[in-house]
Amino acid sequence: MTSEPCYKLLPNGLAIYLMEIHTAPIISHWVWYRVGSRYETTGLTGISHWVEHMQFKGTPRFPTSQLDKAISRTGGVWNAFTYLDWTTFYETLPASQIDLALDLECDRMTASLFDPAEVEAERNVILAELEGNQNEPRFRLGEAVQKAAFDHHPYRNEVIGSREDLKQIQRSHLFAHYRRYYQPANAIIAVAGDFDAGEMFERLTNRYADVPSSPVNAGVVPLEPLLTAERSVEVTGPGSTTYLQLAYRAPAASNPDFFPLTILDSLLCGPTSLNMFGGGGTTNKTSRLYKALVETELAVSVRGGIQATIDPFLYEISTTLRPEHTPDQVLAVVNDQISRLQDELVPEAEIARAAKQARAMFAYGSENITNQAFWLGYAEMFAGYDWFVDYVKNLAQVTPPDVQRVARNYLQAQQRVVGMYLPAGFSEKAP
């Protein structure tokens, strides 16, 4: 019922990935662009996210007032996301209605309007979104930690951008960014579902073959050396909850160390999903930090996370503290658990359980037609589709010495940022 993926590259540089899945009369269609906050410069942070918003503001063929209605009438869903390395738009529709999605995305690639009045209206929307984010303690803490973790690399910036930049970006900046990055040579189309691959290739070729394109020279983003001394940030604000967040520089997804660090994360904090757009979950109650922090009532919750990125990003551990305990108490426990991973080989059985949980989380994020189409394009944003195909095999090959090695190499105290969110009036003295 499911075929192997097929691939075609059009002369204008557009890459097309297709996968036939005949389990239901549904097609999921994604268009990926290699542009996100990694490609932004000082003064223009947040511009990729803003351009994504403007792609919902209409074309001559699809006015803004008709877009959502057209998708809703088919019973379909659609959305878009901007992240560090990429921007993506998708529609999942009944197979008989897929031409709507094909026409819409081709039109958005070539004929988005960027009406000046809509640009100004969206400026206010995004500034309000940023203000809402900055009223959330976890966002404020994460923003401070991320900025402290990098001195120059654009990964230091939040995807939504800074208030200063959002106030000064103009329509001309947005349109130039759109013309530079939202074009065939910088795009991947990924489609999965109930269709014939030959016919789908023909449909897409007819729409895109004549769209002009040119190679995108995004420039080189210099990598930063590891931190050589621990950095600390404190954020204070309203509320009654204290948060602790640790950030260590993590390997790029293409680095073989990504896989043992994924197993380490599952051991330490519980498995996390690389698919940001849904797909179930599994418990972290068997993880070492859950037992050491939550079961002992030092913390309400603990979670870890590593993202698949082009350049080295961050491995993060976040905890929500109980009010009667301090960040220093929790940090001491985290340090102890990390030291154990660095000093002692993890038993094979524990590695096997962590790998099984990580594989389960991966499977949950790959189980339906929308997620299969997602993975066709997503893996190409930081590595290649083979990375997705080999993911489970690479996890299975992780050994106890591998976990110990990455714990020693990446989880050094002098290479991390320690961030604390302290409610106004917080006292360091625990009762």
- Tell me: do 146 and 264 sit in the same domain: no
Domain range enclosing 117: 6-208
- Tell me: do 250 and 283 sit in the same domain: yes
Instruction: Count CB neighbours of 413 within 10 A.
Output: 15
Mind listing the pLDDT tens digit of every residue in the chain (431 residues)?
A: 667 899 999 999 999 999 999 999 999 999 999 999 999 999 999 999 999 999 999 999 999 878 888 898 999 999 999 999 999 999 999 999 999 999 999 999 999 999 999 999 999 999 999 999 999 999 999 999 999 999 999 999 999 999 999 999 999 999 999 999 999 999 999 999 999 999 999 999 999 999 999 889 877 899 999 999 999 999 999 889 999 999 999 999 999 999 999 999 999 999 888 876 555 556 789 899 999 999 999 999 999 999 999 999 999 999 999 999 999 999 999 999 999 999 999 999 999 998 888 888 787 767 789 999 999 999 999 999 899 889 999 999 999 999 999 999 999 999 999 999 999 866 554 44
Give ∠ CA 218-221-226 in degrees, rounded to 5.
165
Which has the closest alpha carbon to 306: 314, 297, 295?
Answer: 314
The C-alpha atoms of residue 258 and residue 146 are separated, in whole angstroms, by: 19
> For the chain, how many structural domains are there in total?
2
Strand 243-249, strand 15-20: pairing = unpaired
Q: N- to C-terminal Cα distance for the chain?
A: 61
- Tell me: do 28 and 144 sit in the same domain: yes
The reply to whether 91 falls in a domain is: yes
Which has the closest alpha carbon to 383: 278, 215, 256, 248?
Answer: 256
Are 55 and 89 a contacting pair, CB within 8 Å?
yes
Are 37 and 158 a contacting pair, CB within 8 Å?
yes
- Tell me: do 248 and 151 sit in the same domain: no
CATH of the domain at 359: 3.30.830.10
- Tell me: do 266 and 301 sit in the same domain: yes
- Tell me: do 289 and 373 sit in the same domain: yes
The label of the residue with tokens 């890459």 reads: 15
- Tell me: do 159 and 244 sit in the same domain: no
Written as one letter, the residue type at 409 is N
